[in-house]
Amino acid sequence: MLHLLPDPLPWYIVGPLFGLCVVALYAVTNLHLGVSGSYVQIIDAMRGRGIEVWRLWFLGGLLLGGVLATILGTDHQAGLAYGRLGQLLAPGALIPVLLAGSVLLGFGARWAGACTSGHGISGSSTRSPGSMVAVGTFMVTAVAATWLLHLATGGAL
Amino acid sequence: MNRLNVACALIGTSFGFCFCAAGFNRYDVIHRMLLLQNLTPFLVMGSAVLTAMPLLWLLERRRWRTPLGGDLQLRRWPVERKHVLGGAVFGCGWAITGACPGTISGMLGAGSLFGIVTLAGFLGGMLLRDTVAERAVREETAPVAEPATSTP
């Protein structure tokens, strides 16, 4: 909103900053940084199971960080914007598409044990073999599926 | 409120800040990355790993003792089928929504209304996976059913 940050922040600043978060969490608390594991706590709490409290604090921080970056920077995704997909589909069609896609996202993240952060950034950094396989798989699948959408929509997406 | 939770919240704030500052909470940025038309996000991820990997290696080698969590122990997982199968399902969801779990929090932080839809689906998908996995475990441990006595 205030446009005080370059949009986007250059990769050579934001990339190392991502990495330092992983290092800081390990170095201070001996915990493995992951985002989907934090959302799992919401589900476990709803089902009356025990939760890892630190993950909720981490999740709260994630949201706060997003708010801060949006206030200091640019709010492209605010309100009803959803990029090219939002231009192509009316909300009545966009909502079911997003729901279907995000169910796959959650199902896959839970199945694989982690997501783009827990496997992608943290797991790759600890040289975890399972994480590297997961990253290779979701990268290749996502690129292939995106190209399929691109071709199927005649280049509209 | 203890020191562990505060540390986690601070690091979470920095991590959440990065998602939005990098533009990863925008559909178009992720979509163009997955079309291989904009490779900058790969540079972000690559430099993140190249920053963290040597530092973690060094801490591990020097048997770092963490102030809040005892001796440092880096988590590693052996390769399993679930990494491929779950990864493939995840990749499809990523391609459709242009969102991953971290960027969903970034969308919510940016005030995206469709971010709420993505969050709802994401939580539902995780719950569905838990239910499927728990049912599979129950069926494995359940006593074998009596064979049917009547024949048609």
At A5-50, the pLDDT tens digits run 998 999 999 999 999 999 999 999 999 999 999 999 999 999 999 9
| Same domain membership, residue A95 and residue A53 | no
* Residues A34 and B102 sit within 8 Å (Cβ to Cβ): no
Q: Which residue has the tokens 């940050």?
A: A5
Q: Give A51's contacts in chain B (Cβ within 8 Å).
A: none
* Residues B89 and B78 sit within 8 Å (Cβ to Cβ): no
* Residues A53 and B83 sit within 8 Å (Cβ to Cβ): no
pLDDT at residue A74 in the model: 85
In chain A, the percentage of residues whose pLDDT exceeds 70 is 100
| Same domain membership, residue A136 and residue A123 | yes
Of A19, A49, A78, which one is at a domain's C-terminal end? A78
Which letter, b or e, does each residue of A63-81 get, where b requires 16 or more Cβ atoms within 10 Å of its Cβ?
bbbbbbbbeebbbbbeeeb
| Same domain membership, residue A97 and residue A52 | no
Which of A47, A88, A98 best probes binding to B when mutated, by most B CB atoms within 10 angstroms? Answer: A98
At A92-104, the pLDDT tens digits run 999 999 999 999 9
| B12, B86, B101 member nearest A111 (Cβ) | B86
- Report the greatest alpha carbon distance in chain B: 71
Q: What secondary structure does DSSP assign to B35-48, as a single string?
A: TTS--HHHHHHHHH
User: To the nearest 10°, the Cα dihedral for A42, B122, B81, B78?
Assistant: -50
pLDDT at residue A154 in the model: 95
Of A78, A104, A122, which one is at a domain's C-terminal end? A78
Tell me the pLDDT of chain B (152 aa) as tens digits: 699 999 999 999 999 999 999 999 999 999 999 999 999 999 999 999 999 999 999 999 999 999 999 999 999 999 999 999 999 999 999 999 999 999 999 999 999 999 999 999 999 999 999 999 999 999 988 766 555 555 55
| Same domain membership, residue A42 and residue A5 | yes
Q: How far apart are CA B53 and CA A127, in angstroms?
A: 8
pLDDT at residue A137 in the model: 98
Nearest chain B residue (CA) to A147: B35
| A20, A43, A65 member nearest B51 (Cβ) | A20
The reply to whether A151 touches chain B by the CB within 8 Å rule is no
Q: What secondary structure does DSSP assign to B132-148, as a single string?
A: HHHHHHHHHHSPPPPPP
Q: Give B45's contacts in chain A (Cβ within 8 Å).
A: 15, 18, 120-121
pLDDT at residue B1 in the model: 61
* Residues A77 and B115 sit within 8 Å (Cβ to Cβ): yes
| Same domain membership, residue A143 and residue A125 | yes
| Same domain membership, residue A154 and residue A124 | yes
| Same domain membership, residue A67 and residue A11 | yes
Domain extent at residue A120: 82-157
* A4: nearest Cα among A80, A81, A69: A69
**Min CA distance, A7 vs chain B (Å)?**
7
| Same domain membership, residue A65 and residue A94 | no
The reply to whether B145 touches chain A by the CB within 8 Å rule is no
At A38-49, the pLDDT tens digits run 999 999 999 999
Q: Which residue has the tokens 């990029």?
A: A83
* Residues B25 and B112 sit within 8 Å (Cβ to Cβ): yes
Q: What secondary structure does DSSP assign to A51-73, as a single string?
A: --HHHHHHHHHHHHHHHHHHHHS
pLDDT at residue B68 in the model: 97
The reply to whether A140 touches chain B by the CB within 8 Å rule is yes
The reply to whether B21 touches chain A by the CB within 8 Å rule is yes
Q: How far apart are CA B19 and CA B25, in angstroms?
A: 6
| A35, A66, A141 member nearest B92 (Cβ) | A141
The pTM assigned to this predicted structure is 0.94
User: What total number of domains does chain A contain?
Assistant: 2
At A71-92, the pLDDT tens digits run 999 888 889 999 999 999 999 9
Of A78, A95, A111, which one is at a domain's C-terminal end? A78
